[in-house]
Amino acid sequence: MALPDHPLPHDVLSELQRANKIEAIKRLRQATGLGLKEAKDAVDAHQRAAAPAAAPGAPGVHGTRLAPGEVPRQRLGSWLWTLALALAALLAFALLGGKA
């Protein structure tokens, strides 16, 4: 059974709004009898149609393209400050002779 231009069932849309894509595909298969590939393709097509139009290759958060759920990586600068602070603490400890 195919879903040519039919809207997705309410429970499938509800799962997509909660970002439960796998559950949405399962519910679509139960409601329509579609195969796994066809149900996934229908859900993907719905998400593409519902997504805001963005320029191809448009950067995401912090000027990079992030996958859904991916967290931006920290920059090297924050690690350098942490390292410099740790080295300063060790140097102060060594200069004081290790006595507190």
The predicted-structure confidence for 35-75, as pLDDT tens digits, reads as follows 999 999 999 999 888 877 555 555 544 456 778 888 777 66
How far is residue 14's CA from residue 18's CA, in Å, rounded to a whole number? Answer: 7
DSSP, residue by residue, 33-44: ---HHHHHHHHH
Q: Given this model, what pLDDT does residue 55 score?
A: 52
Residue type, position 47, single letter = Q
Domain ranges of the chain: 7-52
